[in-house]
């Protein structure tokens, strides 16, 4: 269970240390500045908005100056910012405020919703960021945090789910700081691309982050699994005994007699009447597969004579090799043998 108090407290504590507190619309804030900044910030990054906002407020420091201007004046200042319907909506809203509200921007949520370009999230942002009223916001940054925090993948009724989550998480008494914290966290840490999860204050409870960590742990644990095995190398001059194996990890390839248990290896040597005293050993080594590793022990036994063999068994001439399929491990062992001058 993720508790509302813990989430909001964590976010707000992070904001006190890392959040943005000196943006132009945060200095001597009022509802007019917040409204203009929120409209400008729709689909546009903060660093792009700042110079436009400063020029706009210098020209139109209050709603009265704005409502007495023309659309052309507003569009002139907006040139280069893009999404020009936003500028038109600002102009239309200023005219409504002038006629219906006597140039006083209402601090009523439902009145704000009637203005062009102001939706549920924007109205909540204007009131919470200006007056600390209890209203949640759900901009792109907040959506991204929630989707990752709860590991929400399904798009069905996504908007409804996210509104339900943010309504639950937003604190009653600190909505202003919480909302600003969420936007800042999304911008600075929980980025669209390459989020910096290691410094995120929510990582201990973030389901997406936890899932990633679990996947990494599982991958590591699979590699740690080790099996032991023995290879017996029977050598006569430049000939090596190989057998075509079936139903094994190297199916239908030729390689040395291989045993997973020492008792079976010794039993096979006894059955073949091989002199086990005349032996040499290679240093044991690991051979890796995707899900496990083999700890391989190689025993080299020189024999004095050979018998005729058949049924998928051969005496492999290292100096004049046959064109047969052999696994990489056999090549690796041959290399180790000759490198160490064991034969």
Token pair, residue 272, equals 């073949």
Do 229 and 210 fall within a single domain? Answer: no
CB 211 within 8 A of CB 70: no
Do 145 and 45 fall within a single domain? Answer: yes
Token pair, residue 225, equals 């699994």
The residue behind tokens 């002139």 is: 76
pLDDT digits (tens, 9 = 90+) for 265-296: 999 988 888 887 778 888 898 888 777 888 99
pLDDT digits (tens, 9 = 90+) for 188-236: 999 999 999 999 999 989 999 998 887 776 666 555 688 899 999 998 8
Do 253 and 208 fall within a single domain? Answer: no
pLDDT at residue 277, rounded to an integer:
77
CATH of residue 287's domain is: 3.90.79.10
pLDDT at residue 27, rounded to an integer:
93
Do 302 and 202 fall within a single domain? Answer: no
| 220, part of any domain | no
Active site (annotated) includes residue 159: no
Rounded CA separation 132/128 (Å) = 4
The residue behind tokens 């040395």 is: 256
pLDDT digits (tens, 9 = 90+) for 153-172: 888 899 999 999 999 999 99
| 173, part of any domain | yes
Do 233 and 288 fall within a single domain? Answer: yes
The residue behind tokens 């509200």 is: 101
| 306, part of any domain | yes
| pLDDT band with cut points at 50, 70 and 90 for residue 2 | very low
Domain count, the chain: 2
Do 211 and 231 fall within a single domain? Answer: no
Do 193 and 294 fall within a single domain? Answer: no
Do 69 and 135 fall within a single domain? Answer: yes
Q: Which position among 36, 38, 166, 242 bears the catalytic label? A: 38
pLDDT at residue 5, rounded to an integer:
46
Residue 193: give the domain boundaries: 4-215
Rounded CA separation 306/276 (Å) = 15
Identify the CA nearest to 300 among candidates 318, 319, 321, 327.
318
Other CB atoms within a 10 A radius of the CB of residue 198 amount to 8
Do 189 and 323 fall within a single domain? Answer: no
pTM of the model: 0.63
3-state helix, strand, coil in the chain (%, to 5): 50, 15, 40
Q: Is 182 left (phi over 0), alpha (psi -120 to 50) or beta?
A: alpha
Rounded CA separation 13/240 (Å) = 71
Rounded CA separation 245/256 (Å) = 9
Do 230 and 191 fall within a single domain? Answer: no
CATH of residue 70's domain is: 1.10.340.30
236 DSSP β-pair partners: 239
pLDDT at 114 over 90: yes
Token pair, residue 120, equals 């549920």
Do 211 and 327 fall within a single domain? Answer: no
CB 89 within 8 A of CB 119: no
| 164, part of any domain | yes
Do 230 and 210 fall within a single domain? Answer: no
């Amino acid at each position: 269970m993720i508790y509302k108090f813990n989430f909001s407290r964590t976010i707000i504590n992070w904001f006190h240390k890392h959040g943005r507190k000196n943006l132009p619309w945060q200095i001597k804030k009022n509802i007019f500045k917040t409204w203009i900044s929120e409209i400008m910030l729709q689909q546009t990054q903060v660093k792009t908005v700042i110079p436009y906002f400063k020029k706009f407020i210098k020209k139109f420091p209050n709603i009265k100056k704005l409502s007495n201007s023309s659309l052309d004046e507003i569009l002139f200042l907006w040139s280069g910012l893009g999404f020009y319907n936003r500028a038109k909506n600002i102009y239309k809203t200023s005219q409504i405020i002038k006629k219906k509200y006597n140039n006083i921007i209402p601090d009523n949520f439902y009145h704000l919703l009637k203005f062009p370009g102001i939706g549920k999230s924007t109205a909540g942002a204007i009131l919470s960021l200006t007056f600390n009223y209890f209203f949640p916001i759900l901009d792109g940054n907040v959506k991204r945090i929630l989707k990752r925090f709860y590991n929400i993948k399904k798009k069905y009724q996504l908007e409804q789910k996210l509104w339900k989550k943010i309504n639950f998480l937003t604190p009653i008494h600190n909505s202003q700081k919480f909302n600003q914290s969420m936007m800042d966290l999304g911008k600075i840490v929980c980025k669209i691309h390459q989020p910096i999860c290691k410094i995120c204050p929510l990582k201990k409870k973030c389901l997406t982050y936890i899932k990633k960590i679990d996947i990494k742990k599982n991958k590591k644990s699979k590699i740690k699994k080790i099996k032991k095995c023995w290879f017996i190398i029977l050598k006569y001059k430049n000939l090596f005994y190989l057998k075509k194996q079936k139903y094994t990890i190297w199916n239908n390839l030729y390689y040395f007699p291989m045993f997973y248990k020492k008792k079976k290896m010794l039993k096979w040597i006894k059955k073949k009447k091989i002199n086990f005293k005349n032996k040499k050993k290679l240093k044991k080594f690991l051979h890796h597969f995707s899900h496990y590793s083999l700890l391989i022990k190689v025993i080299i036994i020189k024999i004095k004579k050979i018998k005729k063999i058949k049924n998928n068994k051969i005496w492999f001439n290292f100096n004049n090799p046959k064109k047969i399929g052999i696994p990489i491990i056999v090549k690796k062992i041959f290399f180790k043998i000759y490198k160490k001058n064991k034969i």
